[in-house]
Chains A and B, each alone.
Chain A
Amino acid sequence: MVGMATRLAIVTGRIVAWMMRRSGLGGGTALPGLVALRLAPDLLTRLARELPSGAIVIAGTNGKTTTARLVAESLRAGGVQVVHNRSGSNLPRGIAATFLEATDWLGRLDGDLAVLEVDEFALPTVVRAVKPRLLVLLNLFRDQLDRYGELETIARTWRRALDELSPDATVVINADDPILAELTADFRERRWTFGLEDPAVALPTLPHAADWRLCPRCGAALEYRCVFLGHLGQYCCPGCGFTRPALTVAGQRVRHGSAGLLLDVRWGDRTVTVRSQLAGVYNAYNLLAAVSAGFALGLEPEQLVATLAEVPAAFGRQERVWVAGRELTLLLVKNPTGFNEALRLLESTRRKCPVLIMINDLEADGRDVSWLWDVDVEALRLLSVPVSVGGIRSGEIALRLTYAGIEPQGRYPGVVEALDRWLATLPPDGCGWVLGTYTAMLELRRELARRGVAVEFWAQ
């Protein structure tokens, strides 16, 4: 049972959320939490204590929302009542809002276990407050430099988060990321490592956008036997012998296309085949993270696999919508590696569809758009499909494309305007890809909801 002050904060927060939804001001995924945290700064700690099965925290530059969704659905299928920030609102205020939603008016939390995706910088704060039993670290890429700064800064922040963990907590890490392997090196006994073991999906070289080329231990240039995505792969250091740790859970025989993914997952001497509706090599990593978390929590492999096959894409992540007879696939792009992987997904599908790229530069997108120049948009030229651009920085992406030898078909500064005018250029029963930054996708999504072809993201 929580105290009086906490209860007051909960009630106030809930009233704010209720008012926001009534007045159409949004889903109340942040402000109610902000208000409640103001009134009771220890709200997260107090509410997390009420969870009988504790919390799972998931962090990483790319794949947080998808992985959290996979883990939450797997638990739900096992009959666990899950508290989950599914809207992707991943700052402390968003997590507080999520908790508020799961409490009743008396301040009682209705849930067994929390699955929380957490912003990179908020990780120490959230870990200190909720003391998770399981911490899943997915990857560390360069993202929104104006907000997150350099990779080493984030790595140091995460080290503080790891120090906040309770002694019986388990960490699950992507061992293909050298930074994470080094960060968690002293967790050997309570660390689960996952990674890929499939040269067939390896990239020919380390891509330009690879952020981490040096050994995190001694600073020498890392050597890669295989690069799977960004700087993720099978690495070893010629200087100090630092190498990818042995995998607890290994992904093998990855088969991917537009319809989804199929991969073999080996742990110990067992192997299961995991099927998913999510496509792209990056989702193989998300699936491996979810499977590892599931195993670490003691879920039944057969049931886990059955559930994962059913989980659909999260907001703007390979989501499919039909607008005026056209089939659109929405892909959220936030950073060079994510954008490159989206393009790789386009390449892997046989169907030729026109592409619309929408770039905004608001706070939530990152105000610095220079990352567009680190994306290998040249891949689009090989696809030879018409490309159009939109958003606040449509001029910037158009210029980037021309430097890759691609002449944009259309340029539309407004998001809704872009959608309509671009749709008109598609054949009536055609298909299209929409790649967009966060706020562009949000606005697009809102417009689609208004037209009744998609639901608001918080209600998903």
Chain B
Amino acid sequence: MRLTICWLYARTMNIYGDRGNILALVERCRRRGIEAEVVELGVGEPLEPGRCDLFFWGGGQDREQVAAAHDLQGAKGEVLRAEIERGVPLLAVCGGYQLLGQFYRPAHEPELPGLGVFDAWTVAGSRRMIGNVVVDSPDFGELVGFENHSGRTFLGPGACPLGTVRIGYGNNGEDRTEGCRYRNAIGTYLHGPVLPKNPQLADYLIACALALRGRSDHLEPLDDALAWVAHEEAVQRARRERQGLRHFWLLTRRWSRLP
């Protein structure tokens, strides 16, 4: 078995340790005897229908995001939309997630058109939403990651969020929704990177890709003890931050050693 993973704008949109997501996908395939090939697709490079089994799209700086938005206006965007419609799994984080909505409206620059896959839109906010985030997802359980965005994403009536924020900001810091789902496409603000620490999400994407190739058997479970240790560690950090303890951590370390 062989899967082709397409890494959209790998060179320009990979700012938040996004490589970790690719590593998780490839490695989790390999451990199950599935060969995974990663194809990087940059600005100006055409997308062939039916070639890729899974898409990943990361976050980028403003300038790179603008280039990607324009690159997807036209045939390439059409193909990507059709692939998602066909059920090809996709994970988009932060900048990529924003461009899968209807539009992205920056504070001063002209509005960026999105692909419109998600019934969602993003407007620039004045404050950055930064921190560890814990999300409860009906399908994936507890998800943990780190968010860092000033864009505020709002979901339309037809949109399905990835989950509900337990700790952190999520889509907009107001309605406690986080991420968005459509068919097998997932958009989220969780980086950190998200897949190594949430192996169930990685396996979902792989299972979708296999199912599309006619292999709907269950994925063999892997030894994920360490992944859950890292997961729990991140949840603990989020909890501690919420309690505001991090500011006192160093001080308490010192005091504990005084006679």
Contact = CB atoms under 8 A, between A and B. Distances in A.
Find the residue from A142, A219, A392 having the highest chain B CB count within 10 A. Answer: A392
Contacts of A393: 233, 237
Interface string B50-72: 00000000000111000100000
Kindly list the 4 A-B residue pairs having the minimum CB-CB distance in the complex, ordered from nearest: A370-B17, A373-B20, A373-B17, A395-B230
B253 interface: yes
A152 B61 contact: yes
Interface in A207-226: 208, 213-214, 219, 221
A399 B229 contact: yes
Interface residues of A, number: 40
B17 A398 contact: no
Interface in B228-259: 229-230, 232-234, 237, 241, 246-247, 249-250, 253-254, 257-258
Contact of B253 (A361, A370, A403, A443): A443
Interface of B: 11-12, 15-20, 23-24, 27, 61-63, 67, 128, 130-132, 146, 148, 191-193, 196-197, 226-227, 229-230, 232-234, 237, 241, 246-247, 249-250, 253-254, 257-258
B15 A150 contact: yes
A381 interface: no
13 contacts: A145-B15, A146-B131, A214-B12, A362-B246, A367-B130, A368-B130, A369-B146, A371-B17, A373-B193, A392-B233, A395-B230, A403-B196, A443-B253
A439 interface: yes
Contacts, number: 100
B15 A395 contact: no
Contact of A399 (B63, B146, B226): B226
Contacts of B146: 146, 367-370
Contacts of B62: 150, 152
Nearest to A401: B226
Contacts of B196: 373, 399-400, 403
A151 interface: yes
Given A213-B11, A368-B16, 13 more contacts: A25-B254, A152-B62, A208-B19, A367-B132, A370-B17, A370-B193, A395-B226, A396-B230, A396-B234, A398-B226, A398-B230, A403-B20, A450-B257
A374 interface: yes
A24 B132 contact: no
B192 A369 contact: yes
A152 B63 CA distance: 9
A213 B146 CA distance: 25
Contacts of B234: 396
Contacts of A363: 246-247
Which applies to chain B's interface (DSSP): helix, strand, loop or mixed? Answer: helix
Nearest to B26: A403
Given A362-B249, A398-B229, A403 B27 contact: yes
A370 B16 contact: yes
A402 interface: yes
Contacts of B18: 373
A409 B62 CA distance: 41
Contact of A395 (B67, B128, B191, B233): B233
Nearest to B236: A392
Contacts of A392: 233, 237
A149 to B, nearest CB: 8
Nearest to A399: B230
Contacts of A439: 250
A336 B133 CA distance: 23
A450 B226 CA distance: 33
Nearest to A450: B257
B237 A361 contact: yes
